[in-house]
């Protein structure tokens, strides 16, 4: 049985539909990431699970119970917010124990839980300090610890790393992943950062305009995006998406420039969008003509921004110090690396990878 079950969850504000029919099953010990741009409905979905937003339609089950109409305190959840939400006048121990005290938990049990969570998160030495004496990373650990002591069925995390710098975000991602494996509870995690999603998630739920676009493991959504939106959203740098005409087994990108169409197509002709990941395109002695307009040196890799048949294209290679702006390069795209989408609907047209 799923630990959390969202069944056609829907949220409206008057005539505005914020979330439309989300169906999702979350197993115990599974970390699910809701991913998408601002305004896609991911935080609203999380808040419906938390009970901070009423559910307009659909059902929510946690641990086999229908909690659709229950108050947040009765749902067996714990939430970690973006802004930490710590009491500035209380010590860290006081912040972590406050919720348990409000529930009438025995003092000895509170001390045991707080000490165990503090040791797990390496913040035992901070328990007598106050939030104003802590760094952003330390406060994030305290917020996680406050959720841990509750020992809930489900952890809800709403963009918890957004206030941290890039280096600390990377470290905290690692710590959250380790923590998830240790506690073995269901987690629902909201972010707009696809790097967080790819590195943390067991499965990613990609949303747009209140609707789920695709659910899958990080590599599934990377290798087989369901539509052009997912293809362009997942990956860094993002996938190249170029309009083309499919005819006679070839993809015509421009005058005199074409590619063989990949196998496994669901149609043989028409207007399509060709997807090519920058890292899948390689320099070749014989290939398509690519003119370099920009170069980004990334250390071990080089990103070239240029033109192919008058269309903007990004090509990621190993480190290259020998290429000048304005020069030309021949590139090749393996058939297996070509993704095709309907130009109007954006839906995937290739059945293979």
pLDDT digits (tens, 9 = 90+) for 59-77: 999 999 999 999 998 999 9
What DSSP state is assigned to residue 30?
Answer: -
State the total domains in the chain.
2
- The reply to whether 286 and 159 lie within a common domain is no
Task: Give percent above pLDDT 90 in the chain.
Answer: 67
Where a domain ends, among 200, 229, 258? 229
The span from the CA of 316 to the CA of 296, in Å, is 9
pTM for the structure as a whole: 0.90
- The reply to whether 208 and 318 lie within a common domain is no
CATH number of domain containing 219: 3.40.50.300
pLDDT of residue 315: 96
CB 212 within 8 A of CB 176: no
Query: Terminal CA-to-CA distance of the chain, rounded, Å?
Result: 31
pLDDT of residue 325: 92
pLDDT of residue 1: 57
**Domain span holding position 213:** 4-229
- The reply to whether 208 and 297 lie within a common domain is no
Higher pLDDT, 350 or 281: 281
- The reply to whether 62 and 80 lie within a common domain is yes
Where a domain ends, among 229, 264, 291? 229
Where a domain ends, among 202, 229, 256? 229
CATH number of domain containing 336: 2.40.50.140
Q: Sheet of 250-254: strands edge to edge?
A: 257-260, 250-254, 240-247, 270-276, 338-342
pLDDT of residue 24: 97
- The reply to whether 184 and 304 lie within a common domain is no
pLDDT digits (tens, 9 = 90+) for 310-350: 899 999 999 999 889 989 999 999 888 899 999 999 999 87
């Amino acid at each position: 049985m799923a630990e959390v079950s969202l069944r056609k969850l829907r949220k409206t504000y008057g005539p505005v539909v914020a979330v439309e029919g989300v169906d999702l099953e979350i197993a115990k010990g599974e970390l699910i990431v809701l991913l998408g741009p601002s305004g896609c409905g991911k935080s609203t979905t999380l808040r419906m699970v938390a009970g901070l937003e009423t559910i307009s339609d659909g059902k929510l089950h946690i641990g086999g119970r229908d909690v659709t109409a229950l108050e947040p305190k009765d749902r067996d959840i714990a939430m970690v917010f973006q802004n930490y939400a710590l009491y500035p006048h209380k010590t860290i121990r006081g912040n972590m124990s406050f919720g348990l005290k409000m529930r009438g938990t025995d003092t000895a049990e509170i001390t045991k839980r707080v000490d165990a969570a503090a040791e797990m998160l390496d913040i035992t030495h901070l328990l007598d300090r106050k939030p104003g004496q802590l760094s952003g990373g330390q406060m994030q650990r305290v917020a996680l610890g406050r959720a841990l002591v509750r020992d809930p069925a489900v952890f809800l995390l709403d963009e918890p790393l957004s206030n941290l710098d890039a280096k600390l975000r990377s470290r905290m991602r690692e710590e959250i992943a380790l923590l998830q494996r240790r506690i073995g509870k269901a987690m629902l995690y909201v972010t707009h950062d696809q790097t967080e999603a790819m590195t943390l998630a067991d499965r990613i739920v990609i949303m747009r305009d209140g609707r789920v676009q695709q659910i899958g493991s990080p590599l599934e959504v990377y290798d087989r995006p369901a539509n052009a939106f997912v293809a362009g959203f997942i990956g860094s740098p993002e996938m190249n998406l170029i309009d083309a005409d499919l005819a006679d087994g070839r993809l015509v990108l421009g005058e005199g420039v074409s590619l063989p169409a990949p196998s496994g197509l669901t149609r043989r002709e028409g207007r399509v969008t060709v997807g090519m990941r920058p890292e899948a395109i390689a320099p070749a002695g014989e290939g398509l003509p690519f003119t370099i307009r920009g170069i980004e040196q990334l250390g071990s890799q080089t990103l070239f921004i240029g033109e192919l048949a008058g269309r903007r294209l990004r090509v990621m290679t190993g480190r290259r110090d020998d290429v000048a702006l304005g020069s030309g390069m021949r590139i090749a795209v393996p058939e297996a690396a070509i993704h095709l989408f309907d130009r109007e609907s954006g839906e995937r047209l290739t059945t293979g990878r």
